[in-house]
Amino acid sequence: MGPHGRWVLLLTEEGRHPLPCTHRSRPPPLLGFQLALTIVRQTGGLGISIAGGKGSTPYKGDDEGVFISRVSEEGPAAQAGVRVGDKLLE
């Protein structure tokens, strides 16, 4: 996937308004809202860690989704508004 990629996140904290984004879609009922981000990798990566996923220990309850478990304060993901607990959809 080159030096950047398109990420679709489910932002789990209602009322949150991240800064840069490429696309915002209608919020799913009672779950927050979806946001598509393009994050450009800098030296050292994107500045995130992920947890969960199919076949792994769930990060939240029994949800087999992939979640953001750590965000480096100065990394590109933090600058784009990604937070711990956001769920990756694509």
- pTM (two decimals): 0.63
Q: What are phi and psi of 82, to 5 degrees?
A: -70, 140
Query: How many Cα atoms occupy the beta-carbon half-sphere of 41 within 13 Å?
Result: 12
Closest C-alpha to 38, from 26, 30, 49, 46: 46
Question: Which pLDDT value is given to residue 70?
Answer: 94
The domains located in the chain, with CATH, are 39-89 (2.30.42.10)
Where does the pLDDT of residue 76 fall: very low under 50, low under 70, confident under 90, or very high at 90 and above?
A: confident
pLDDT digits 0-9 by tens, 10-28: 555 544 544 444 444 444 4
Instruction: List pLDDT tens digits, range 17-71.
Output: 444 444 444 444 445 667 677 777 767 788 899 999 999 999 888 899 999 999 9
Q: Are 78 and 84 in contact (CB under 8 A)?
A: no
